[in-house]
Structure 1
């Protein structure tokens, strides 16, 4: 089997993945030839993706009460489906025909399990939520339905360049994920669904960020994605997680340890002024425009946000000068009140 260099006989429901199985998974997903000695170079890829792989498998098998083992018993079975998905000549129906020969149960239930197995393969290979995944949905998420035909045209149509919002926005350097949280008050939802990247959810109180940069790096030449799509997605990470912004980077490191994020998400440099022009983004254009509008329209509601919000310098200085004058007025007023009280006390108690 292409892409699988070692036997993968470990049962899919075993709680731990052997090291050899992990490398076989990575080699198949990314058409690579990783070996254990590559660990120092590619260690950023392993923790975040392998956790995603395990979570997806657990959710799929739990959803069907482990009956999915009628089709998928070992990790090799999963990777075999992914290899078929890579063949652009195969339609969904042809892949289903191959799987039908492996399961002898009632046709109605068989078809449901086969569809789940194929959709699981797509999710593991491309990190895109496809199929019935109700248990893992987040507010605002729209799973992709692949019911027939070829997979590549569906993905190209899903991620087609689209510019429907023509409002001009300036993607200045203050426009970072860190400032989206501390200034605009948005909650950052770290997603493993590429289709949710930059999506505002929960009544515009959260923004989903796809953090698997290493995954994207290894998929640069994957023609399942439209030309330029992967590169632009990586540039959105460089825009929102600038490498040379020490405060932003330190904040992300805390997030990375807390949520087991792909640490390379903040390793893609800084965009120049020319590169930051909104016209340079065609796949994520509209979501960036909406996100920037939410950021610009957000008003500080806490003292911390007032202190951090330097978007309008004159307003910031005016507010803090007024706040300082008010604080000093109150302070000296309290001092005078205390002094007056002491004087009154002395007047009635001279000794």
Structure 2
């Protein structure tokens, strides 16, 4: 039976073995964050870490391992899940990057010309899997994701680096920013014309790209819930909880429009279903000063949303932010449609009258005598 396989055995399996068994997932998650991964189908439940469904995370885990071991694994020293959890333990212990690198070097069975690259990539891969943030920068590919650059020159532990990297900033004024109920992901698309891009990189959450035409949203609510409840999480205190609140803001639970919009997306099967269970924010919780880590990105996103003007009929239909303008536009459209319809009716009626007149005249001319 799968559940009877010792944890040491499943952890010694190759990173490329797929799909991951349930015992492998449980062994890895227990050592990364002190929790277990449940079988597919169970929902996110905020009161119980054991009920967190990490299926979306495991898809990410397998994808990252496959990318890292590209080209026969010549660029990374990690080979098994045991290598990942062992390095993760060093990261959680507070060891500086240089010391972790030295420890990994001492365990190399064979030395290579690119030892430094392989060891750095092994640390970055583990940090990426531990935190779902893009630490990697592999020489053979380009991910397009924002990189979290933790190097030996910056010193200190990974926890200290993350405290500095995600330090709350208040550079943008927020006096006029109001996060109304209309400010949600579906309307970012349907009203502002923004392309919503689901990202696996926490560092890209709420980031605007492509001249403010795309917004990246970190959708892994189940992973965030695991981090929120884990005593071993390396994320700064409150970051996971606040990120979940931004998801509750953009994907309010029970909102029919949001649910319909997600179902209509071509890639709706790619995101974490836990997004549907993040709850809804009350009026007091929607104030911009309730956000610290993501405050400036929310300010920028809200500014783009507020400045967006409808350009298509679809955008005009959904844009009810200005009620008077919305009704005026659609009354004008209705008047135009009625004018065209009545004009067509009158034209057809006139054509019929002319036809009947010519028909009658023709009959008179072709009559007897």
TM surpasses 0.5: yes
Pair 1:22 & 2:32 matched: no
Deviation at 1:133, TM superposition (A): 4.4
Alpha-carbon contact 2:15-2:62 (below 8 Å) kept: no
Tell me the residue number matched to 2:93: 87
Pair 1:201 & 2:204 matched: no
Pair 1:58 & 2:56 matched: no
Alpha-carbon contact 1:256-1:262 (below 8 Å) kept: no
Deviation at 1:249, TM superposition (A): 2.5
What is the alpha-carbon distance in structure 1 between the residues aligned to residue 126 and residue 252 of structure 2?
Answer: 33
Pair 1:346 & 2:341 matched: no
Q: Any gaps of 5 or more consecutive residues in structure 2?
A: 1-5, 45-49, 364-369
Q: Which deviates further from its counterpart, 326-335 or 226-235?
A: 226-235
Tell me the residue number matched to 1:251: 261
Q: Mark the structure with the bigger radius of gyration.
A: 2
Of 267, 280, 284, which aligns to 2:294? 284
Q: Deviations over 1:12-61 (max 9, x none)?
A: 22232222212212222221245769967767633200000001001111
Q: Which deviates further from its counterpart, 17-26 or 123-132?
A: 17-26
Of 106, 113, 121, which aligns to 2:118? 113
What is the alpha-carbon distance in structure 1 between the residues aligned to residue 13 and residue 266 of structure 2?
Answer: 30
> 1:165 is paired with a residue of what secondary structure?
coil
What is the alpha-carbon distance in structure 1 between the residues aligned to residue 337 and residue 104 of structure 2?
Answer: 73
Normalising by structure 2, report the TM-score: 0.86
What is the alpha-carbon distance in structure 1 between the residues aligned to residue 226 and residue 38 of structure 2?
Answer: 15
Deviation at 1:173, TM superposition (A): 0.2
Q: Which deviates further from its counterpart, 141-150 or 279-288?
A: 141-150
Pair 1:127 & 2:152 matched: no
Pair 1:326 & 2:329 matched: no
Pair 1:146 & 2:150 matched: yes
Tell me the residue number matched to 2:108: 103
What is the alpha-carbon distance in structure 2 between the residues aligned to residue 125 and residue 237 of structure 1?
Answer: 21
Tell me the residue number matched to 1:73: 79
Residues 1:308 and 1:131: Cα distance change in structure 2 (over 3 Å): same
Tell me the residue number matched to 2:326: 316
Of 193, 213, 218, which aligns to 2:221? 213
Tell me the residue number matched to 2:367: none
Of 167, 171, 174, which aligns to 1:164? 171
Alpha-carbon contact 2:248-2:279 (below 8 Å) kept: yes
What is the alpha-carbon distance in structure 2 between the residues aligned to residue 210 and residue 305 of structure 1?
Answer: 25
What is the alpha-carbon distance in structure 2 between the residues aligned to residue 232 and residue 39 of structure 1?
Answer: 23
Residues 1:127 and 1:43: Cα distance change in structure 2 (over 3 Å): same
Deviation at 1:6, TM superposition (A): 4.5
Normalising by structure 1, report the TM-score: 0.91
Deviation at 1:260, TM superposition (A): 2.6
* Count of aligned pairs: 343
